Amino acid sequence: MEIKALRYHETGKPADVLQLDTLELGQPGPGEALVALRAAVLHPSDLGMIGGSYGRLRDLPAVAGREGVGEVLAVGEGVKRLSIGDRVRMPEESVLVDALCANADDFEKAPADLPVEQACMAFINPPTAYRILKDFVDLKPGDWIIQNAANSAVGQCAIGLAKELGLHSINLVRDVAKWEGPLKAMGADVVLADGEDFFKQFGALTGGAKPKLGLNSIGGDSVIKMIRCMAESGVVVTFGGMVGDKVRFPTRNLIFDDVSLRGFWMDRWGRNATAEQRGEMQHEIHELIRKGVFNMTIAGKYALADGKQAFEAAQAGSRDGKVIVTGDFTL
């Protein structure tokens, strides 16, 4: 059987290096399952991997994509753990393919009752927001957090989870007119432009309270201003660098306010966690999606055959949310 896979044979710009390759797909052997892609999400880290700048790169040629879910279409002899129709996470190294056969035990099960677009993006961004809110500062209801890129998928999850935990959030975005309404509907308390003087404005809006936790995925001037806003002994966690600049630290806040800077990488957390810890967290994340606490916005959906256009849309600034790639392969 012939299938299509969106692959790159060298690193570079997605528009230059991505191609739709035709591959052969066999029948599932003993112990294997045949899984077809149903939905995948594109991330800034996909672009970093294809471009060769991410912290972990793949052997080439590589299938593009990192996160998605598929449907079990067939199982080989002896497979008990999976049944036809089950939803599973696509293996991280084989996401943007029509279908694949792999060991049934290696597929992570995913709940089939969640909307497929939310289910396909449950494994990276929601856990990142979850871990950063839980692991760095002992936050109590009523405490404040601050974040930049608040309209990103991680930012939207942090807003929802903060509200769920009784925390208040200050949310910095580039386009306030576009995002203030949607982010407040998700539970944001304050939405401000990530510009010159946000740190002068928010005190009046928080009754003078300062944030104990900062979430930085931008870098550059944005994080310097964020550090200046922090409460004494506050912690700023850097987990992304959208401006590609160094994170610099204003000395007075280090000395006089004891603000500290930490880093977070979901991959590292996953490698160090036990299977039980990963399973418990993922179960909780799925519950939070089911409750609507995590409900990330979507900018557009593209078929796998239009994967290159999907990557172009994912690279564009001022998106309305995540770009989804769908698959409709059947036997």
* DSSP letter for each residue of 176-223: HHHHHHHHHHHT-SEEEESSTTHHHHHHHHTTT---SEEEESS-HHHH
For residue 302, indicate whether it is catalytic. Answer: no
Q: Return the residues of window 121-160 that contact ligand NAP according to CB under 6 A.
A: 124-125, 128, 149, 151-154
Q: With respect to ligand NAP, which residue has the nearer C-beta, 102 or 242?
A: 242
**Least spacing, CB of residue 243 vs ligand NAP, in Å:** 5
**Least spacing, CB of residue 175 vs ligand NAP, in Å:** 6
Choose, by CB under 6 A, the member of 240, 282, 293, 313 that binds ligand NAP.
Answer: 240
Choose, by CB under 6 A, the member of 20, 209, 242, 305 that binds ligand NAP.
Answer: 242
The residue at minimum Cβ distance from ligand NAP is: 240
The number of residues that bind ligand NAP (CB under 6 A) is: 26
Residue 257: what are its φ and ψ, rounded to 5°?
A: -115, -5
Q: With respect to ligand NAP, which residue has the nearer C-beta, 51 or 76?
A: 51
**Least spacing, CB of residue 325 vs ligand NAP, in Å:** 14
Q: With respect to ligand NAP, which residue has the nearer C-beta, 11 or 217?
A: 217
Residue 217: what are its φ and ψ, rounded to 5°?
A: -125, 15
Choose, by CB under 6 A, the member of 15, 84, 185, 243 that binds ligand NAP.
Answer: 243
Choose, by CB under 6 A, the member of 58, 109, 163, 174 that binds ligand NAP.
Answer: 174
Please choose, from the candidates 209, 204, 198, 90, the residue with its C-alpha nearest in 3D space to the C-alpha of residue 150. 198
The whole-angstrom separation of Cα 12 and Cα 15 is 8
Choose, by CB under 6 A, the member of 161, 218, 281, 324 that binds ligand NAP.
Answer: 218
The whole-angstrom separation of Cα 249 and Cα 164 is 31
**Least spacing, CB of residue 80 vs ligand NAP, in Å:** 34
* DSSP letter for each residue of 215-276: EESS-HHHHHHHHHHPPTT-EEEE---TT-------HHHHHTS--EEEE--HHHHHHHS-HH
Please choose, from the candidates 184, 120, 128, the residue with its C-alpha nearest in 3D space to the C-alpha of residue 151. 184
Q: Return the residues of window 51-70 that contact ligand NAP according to CB under 6 A.
A: none
The whole-angstrom separation of Cα 145 and Cα 134 is 12
Q: Count CB atoms within 10 A of the CB of residue 74.
A: 17
Contact footprint for ligand NAP (CB under 6 A): 43-45, 124-125, 128, 149, 151-154, 174-175, 217-218, 239-240, 242-243, 264-266, 317-319, 322
Which residues are identified as catalytic? 54
